[in-house]
Amino acid sequence: MNDTGRSRSSTLESAIIDVPRPADFDEFWAESLRLLDTVDARPSLRHLPERSTERVDVYELHYSGFHGVRIAAWCTMPAGRTGPLPTVVHIPGYISEPSIMKSWSERGYLTVALAPRGKLRSNDLVNPGYPGLLTADITDRFTYAYRGFYLDVIRALDVVAELEQVDAERIGVWGSSQGGGLGIVAAALRPNIVRAFAAGAPYLCGIMESARLTHSYPYEEINEFLRVHPEAEAEATETAAYYDGMNFAPAVRAPSLVYLGLEDDVCPPETGFAVYRELGGVKELHTYPRCAHDAGLRWVIPKVEAFLDGHLKQAAERDGVNA
C-alpha cells in the first residue's frame, strides 16, 4: 500500500460509527428464533442431472423459513462422495441471485447458495422488490422485511447442519455486501453451527450512517423514503438498530476474514472498519486502496479459499490427499 493508500485507510479506520443498541435487542432476536422454531422446515433435496457434471452433482434444496415461506437454494456436492463433507453456505448480495458453486465442490466442498425471500425462486409470497427490500415496513421492527430474510438464512444453517452429507462440525459462511453483513448475523445467532466466515464489503452495518455517507443504492432507498416520510425518521432509525451488523458483531466468536475496498461508494468503508473492530473472535482484515464495491475480489479470492480451507478442511484434504 502506498502512502496515499495508508493515509486514506487510516482516516477511514478511525471513523466513529455510532449505532445505539436497543435495550431489548437480545430478547427480540431470542423471540424471533423461538417463532422460527415453531415452523416445520420440511426440507427437500432434488437432484438435477441436467445441471450436474462428471465432477459435481447439483441439487435444488427447498425449506420453509419464517412464517412458513418456502425458500430455495442451490446445493452442490463432489460427485461420488457421500460425506461427511466440509460445507460452505453462500449468501447473495442485495440484487444478486445465487450462483451454482461448482468450483467449490470440485475442491471438495458441499455448497449451499441461498435465495432468501424476495429472490426469484423464493418470491411467491414475499416480493418487496429491488429497490424496495431495505425500506419495506422499516418503521416496525416486527414486520420489517429483513426480519424474515435474516431468519431465512438462520433456518438454512439449521437445515444444512442436519443433511446427512454434511459434517456439522465444518460449516462455514461466505458472502459479500449483503452476504457479508448476513454472515456476521449468522455467526452471532448460530455460534454452534458457524465455524468460520468470510465477509466482503459488509452491508447492513451502520445502516443509518451509511445513508448519510453515500447516495448510492441500496442505502439511497432510505434517503428517498425519508424525503417522502420525514416524520418516520425516528421509527426507521429504531428499527434499523435491531438489524444492524454493528449490534450483532460483539456476539461473534467464529474466526472471520473481512475484506474492504477503500473506494467503495455502496457500502462505505468507514462502516466496514467499524464493524470489524466490534467483531469478537480471531479475525483478519484485508483492504484494497483502489477498489470499490468489489472489495478486491480478484486478489482476495485465494485468501478466502485458504482461510476457509484452514478452518473447515481436515489436514489430509488441505494437503490434497482427498481433494
- Residue 185's Cβ-side half-sphere holds a number of Cα atoms within 13 Å equal to 32
Q: Is residue 318 helix, strand or coil?
A: helix
- Is 44 among the catalytic positions? no
Active site residue: 57, 152, 264, 294, which one?
264
On whether 144 is known to bind a ligand per the annotation, the reply is: no
Neighbours of 318 (CB within 10 A): 15
Residue 123's alpha-carbon distances to 71, 128, 157, 162, 227, in angstroms, are: 8, 9, 20, 25, 28
Residue 99's alpha-carbon distances to 28, 114, 200, in angstroms, are: 32, 9, 17
**φ and ψ of 165, to 5 deg:** -85, -5
Sequence-separated (6 or more) residues with CB below 8 Å from residue 11 = none
As a whole number of angstroms, the distance between CA 55 and CA 71 comes to 26
Give start and end residues of each alpha helix (H) in 62-204. Answer: 102-106, 145-162, 178-189
Closest CA to 252 of 302, 310, 202: 202
**φ and ψ of 278, to 5 deg:** -85, -15
- Is 293 among the catalytic positions? yes
Active site residue: 32, 105, 122, 177, which one?
177
Sequence-separated (6 or more) residues with CB below 8 Å from residue 39 = 64, 65, 66, 67, 68, 155
Active site residue: 210, 293, 309, 311, which one?
293
Give start and end residues of each alpha helix (H) in the chain. Answer: 3-13, 25-37, 102-106, 145-162, 178-189, 207-213, 220-228, 233-243, 245-248, 269-278, 297-312, 315-318
- Going by the annotation, the residues of the binding site for substrate are 94
Just list the catalytic residues: 177, 264, 293
